[in-house]
Amino acid sequence: MACSAWLFGGYNPHRSALNIDHANENLYHFPVVCNQCENTYCAKVCPADAIYRDQETGAIVVDQEKCVGCKKEFCHEYCPIKVIHVDPFTRKAYKCDLCGGSPRCVESCPTGALELVVRVNTDQEEDR
Amino acid sequence: MNDGYMGKFLCVDLEAKTSLKLKVPDWLKQDYVGGKGFGAKLLSDLAPPGVDPLGPDNLLMFLTGPLCSTPAPAMRTCVVCKSPATHTFLDSYVGGRFGAEIKFAGYDGIIIRGTASDPVYLWIEDDRIEFRSAAKIWGSDALKANELIKQDLGHQEATVATIGQAGENGVLFSLICCEYNRQAGRGGAGAVMGSKKLKGIAIKGSQLVKVNRPDLFQQAVKKANRDIESAGDCSALTESGTSYAVPWSSSIGLLPYKNHSEQHDPKVNKIDDAAQDKHLFLGKSACFGCPIRCSQMGAVRTGKFASFVTDIIEYETVAMLGSNLAISNIRDIAYLNKLCDTLGMDSISAGAVIAFAFEAAEKELIQSPEKANLEFGSTKAAEHLLKSIALQEDELGKLLGQGVKKAAEQIGHDAPDFALHVKGLEIPGWGVKGSPGMGLAYATADRGACHQRGFPIGYEYGGALYKGEVVEPHSIEKKAEILIGDQNYLAGLDTLIKCDFGAFGVTAQSYIELLNAVTGLERPQSFIDELGERIWNLVRLFNLREGLDTGSDTLPAKLTGKALENGPLKGQRMKSEDLDLMLKEYYMIRNWDREGRPITKHLKQLGLNKERRFSIEKQLIAPENDEVKD
C-alpha cells in the first residue's frame, strides 16, 4: 500500500509496483518484486525507448514523458514476472523505481520483513 | 474530499437486476462513521418493519469504514442484515481480503435487495456491475464455488465471497465464506444470501483510497503498529493464533465440555496450540494489511481424513467442535471445521447444535439415525449431522438446521432447558459458571449470545484492571458497569472496523489519532464511547421494533442450574437471582426502563429522538454525471 501511495497518492495494492501472490487457500505467499534485470526485456521491447537504467539508484525506470502509452503493452507482456504495469487511467507504464533509492515498502513494512540489498556479480561488477 | 471514504454505496436489486449508486451523505459519516454504525442506521431506515429475514425486502449489506483498505493495522469488514435465527439485528465482522476490495472498487458498502429469479453471482469491477448466471455453480460447496466463479470470469485475481449448500438450503446458522477461510454472518447471513439466490460476489477494483492528512496518518499507523508489537496478547496471536487460549481456558475452568455440562477438558493437551503446531501448522497468513498474521496455515497429513489444507482451528471451533463434543483428535476437529467452512456453516452454532443433539439422544428425546450413533465423542456422528443439516437431506437435518432454540421447541419435554442459546443464537465456547460477567454479556449482547460484544472474562480471569483495580471474578459487583463500558467502546470501534485482535494492542488514543488523520476531523477520545452508546441504543430500538421480547435478556436453564461438579471452578454456579440483579443494574445504567426499553429522555440526549432518515431516493447519484439527484 505504501507503494501505491508513493506512486499515485492513495492506497490500492492493485496499483502498486510489486505483487504478492497467494496460493492454495493462502498456504503459500510469493512476494514478487522487480529484479531490475541486467538484460532488460522491458526496455528492449519499448517502442519509444522510454525505459532506462537510473545510474544513481541502479533501478530500471520509465520516463513518463517519453512513454507514449502504446496499446501493445509490450513491456508488461514480455516482463517475465509481470512487474511492469500499465496504469488503467493514463495507459502509461509504471514500475518499481526503488523510490529514488529509498523504497517506501521497506520503510513501511510493520514487521521488518523487507530490506534493500545490493547484488554483487561474480565478475565484481556492482549492480542493484 | 480525501477523508478515507469512497463517497458511494453500491445498491443492487437482484430482482430487477439493476444497480444504483448512492451518495454517502456527510451527516451519515459524521454521526455513524462506518461498519456497525452504517449498518444500524441503514437497516433501521431501509428495511420495512417486521421484514421477513428470508424475504426479498431484507437487506444484505457489506460495509466498510474510513480506516478499511488503508495501512491502519487489523481492520475488517462488516456484514449486516436482519437475522433469520434471532429476527433481530445481525452484525458480523470478517477479515481476509474481500472487504478491502469493496473500497478499491470505489464503494463504502454494498447494499443488496430483492431476490433473483434464478441463481446468480455478482461481478463488480469498479463501475461495471454484472449479474451472471450461477446455474452451474449452485449446489457446489463454498470453496468450489470460489474456484468456479474465478474460472467463469477468467479472473483469478478477483476476490470472492460465496455461500455453501447450507446457505442455499436456508440453514439458520449458515455463513458467507470470504476468501479464504474467513466466515461472516453468525445468525444466518448465509441463509439470507441463499434466499436471494445469490451464490457469490466477485470483486476487483482500481480506485485509490485517500486520506486527509497523509503525514499524520503515517505517524498514527506507526504508533498503532508499535502498540501491537508491544502487546503480549498480540504476540501470542502471531505465535499460535487463538489456539493459545485453549489450554488457558481449560486451566481456569471456562472451556465448555459436553454441552457445557463441565467447564474443563481432561484431554485438552490433545487439542491445544502445541497439538495444532505439531499436527497441523506449516506457515502463517495475514488478513489484508494486518501485522499480527494470526492465521496459522497448515495441512492434515495423516489419519482417516488426510490430506487437506486447513487454517488454524480457532479457539471457538476447538471449544465447540472439540471439547464441547468431547472430541479430542485435533485432525478430526480440523475435518469437522473444514466441513463447516465448505458447507458454509458457523462452527460455533454447528458445534452447539450437535452437542444439543447428543444430549437429547442421551436423554432419549431424539433417535439416532441409522448411520451414526449420536453420542459425545463421536466424530462420525458429528460428521453425519453436519452433512445432513447442510444438505437438509433428512428429518433430523431439517430439525437441527433451525438451530437449538427452534429444534428444542419442536422436541418439547425439557429440551429447551439444555438448548443453549440467547435469543436464538447459540452460546459460544466460554462457560458462565464462575464468570457472572460473561453470563450477563451473553444475556445482553445485541445479536444474541456473543462473546465479542463484551468479554468480562478479560477482567475476571485475564488480569485486566478496571479503573486501576482488580476485578473479583465470582462477584456480581460492578459487572454491569464494566460490561456496558466494553459494549459501548467495542461498538464504537466496530464502526472503524477494528479486529478484536488488533484492539488487544491498539489503544483508544491511537484509534482516534488514526481516525482523525484519515478524516481530517478533530474528535476527542471520548467520541468512540459516545458513538458506541448511540449505536447500541439504536440497535436496541431496531430489535424492539422487530418484536424483541425483553424477557429474552436471559440465559438458558442449564447454565443457571446446578453447580459445577468438577474442574478448577468446582462448586461454582450462575444463580438466576444474580443474573436478575445484574440485569436490573444493567438496565438502570443504560437508562432503560425495567423492561429494557430505552427511556425517551435518554434517547434525546443521544440524539436518537428525531433523526434524519437515510433514503435511497434522496441519495441517488444520476448515472450520467455522478451528481446527487437533490
Residues on chain A touching B239 (C-beta within 8 angstroms): none
Q: How far apart are CA B203 and CA B124, in angstroms?
A: 5
Domains of chain B: 8-204 (3.60.9.10), 236-426 (1.10.569.10), 436-496+530-606 (1.10.599.10)
Q: In chain B, which among 52-71 make CB contacts under 8 A with chain A?
A: 69-71
Task: Pick the residue of B64, B102, B104 with the most A CBs within 10 A to test the interface with A by mutation.
Answer: B104
Residue B546 corresponds to which amino acid? Answer: E
**Cell output for B548:** 424483541
Q: Please report where in the chains the cell 491502519 appears, as a residue.
A: B72
Residues on chain B touching A111 (C-beta within 8 angstroms): 291
Give the mean pLDDT of B298-313. 97
Rounded to 5°, the CA angle B130-B131-B136 comes to: 125
Q: Please report where in the chains the cell 509490450 appears, as a residue.
A: A74
Give the mean pLDDT of B373-401. 98
| B387-to-B74, B339, B341, B402, B412 alpha-carbon distances in Å | 34, 8, 12, 14, 24
Write the CATH number of the domain with boundaries A2-108. 3.30.70.20
Residue B540, pLDDT > 70, answer yes
In chain A, which residue's Cα lies nearest the Cα of B293? A111
Q: Which of B205, B208, B309 sits opposite A8 (nearest CB)?
A: B208
In chain A, which residue's Cα lies nearest the Cα of B282? A27
- For chain A, which residues score pLDDT lower than 50? 128
Predicted local distance difference test score (pLDDT) of residue B629: 46
Q: How far apart are CA B349 and CA B483, in angstroms?
A: 23
Residue B630, pLDDT > 60, answer no
Task: Pick the residue of B141, B208, B210, B518 with the most A CBs within 10 A to test the interface with A by mutation.
Answer: B208
Segments in B257-378 forming alpha helices (H) = 273-279, 315-317, 330-343, 347-362
Q: Which of B142, B192, B93, B184 is nearest to B338 (CA)?
A: B142
Q: Which of B208, B218, B289 sits opposite A10 (nearest CB)?
A: B208
Residue B71 corresponds to which amino acid? Answer: P
ipTM over 0.90: yes
How far is B544 from chain A, CA to nearest CA, in Å?
40
In chain B, which residue's Cα lies nearest the Cα of A4? B208
Predicted local distance difference test score (pLDDT) of residue A123: 63
Predicted local distance difference test score (pLDDT) of residue B554: 98
Q: How far is CA A21 from the centre of its chain?
A: 15
User: pLDDT-based confidence at B611, cuts 50/70/90?
Assistant: confident
Q: How far apart are CA B629 and CA B627, in angstroms?
A: 6
Q: Please report where in the chains the cell 460473561 appears, as a residue.
A: B438
Q: Is B183 on the interface with A (CB under 8 A)?
A: no
Residue B627, pLDDT > 60, answer no
Give the mean pLDDT of chain B: 97
**Cell output for B228:** 501491537
- Strands ordered across the beta sheet of B176-178: B128-133, B120-125, B198-204, B159-162, B176-178, B182-184
Cα four-point dihedral sign B45, B49, B55, B57: negative
Cα four-point dihedral sign B175, B241, B289, B300: negative
Report yes or no: B490 and B483 within 8 Å, Cβ to Cβ: no
Q: Which of B302, B301, B343 is nearest to B321 (CA)?
A: B343
Give the mean pLDDT of B503-516. 98
Contacts of A89 (CB under 8 A, 6+ apart): B206
User: DSSP state, B472?
Assistant: P
Predicted local distance difference test score (pLDDT) of residue A124: 54
How far is B464 from chain A, CA to nearest CA, in Å?
27
The enclosing H or E element of A20 equals strand A19-23
Predicted local distance difference test score (pLDDT) of residue B407: 98
Q: How far apart are CA B576 and CA B570, in angstroms?
A: 18
How far is A15 from chain B, CA to nearest CA, in Å?
7
Segments in chain A forming alpha helices (H) = 2-8, 41-45, 74-78, 104-108
Give the mean pLDDT of B256-283. 97
**Cell output for B314:** 480457532
Q: How far is CA B302 from the centre of its chain?
A: 32
Query: Each residue of B14-45: pLDDT tens digit?
Result: 999 999 999 999 999 999 999 999 999 999 99
In chain A, which residue's Cα lies nearest the Cα of B105? A12
Neighbours of B478 (CB within 10 A): 19
Q: How far apart are CA B562 and CA B437, in angstroms?
A: 18
Q: Is B17 on the interface with A (CB under 8 A)?
A: no
Predicted local distance difference test score (pLDDT) of residue B625: 53
Inter-chain touch B69–A108, beta carbons under 8 Å: no
| A34-to-A38, A82, B305 alpha-carbon distances in Å | 11, 9, 41
B109 strand-pairing partners: B9, B63
Predicted local distance difference test score (pLDDT) of residue B626: 52
| B240-to-B251, B301, B313, B627 alpha-carbon distances in Å | 18, 19, 10, 49
Q: Is A112 on the interface with B (CB under 8 A)?
A: no
- Burial label for B311, CB within 10 Å (0-12, 13-18, 19+), is buried
Query: Each residue of B430-447: pLDDT tens digit?
Result: 999 999 999 999 999 999
Inter-chain touch A15–B204, beta carbons under 8 Å: no
Tell how strand B109-113 and strand B159-162 pair up.
unpaired
Inter-chain touch A12–B180, beta carbons under 8 Å: no
Residue B53, pLDDT > 60, answer yes
Inter-chain touch A26–B180, beta carbons under 8 Å: yes
Residue ranges per domain, chain A? 2-108
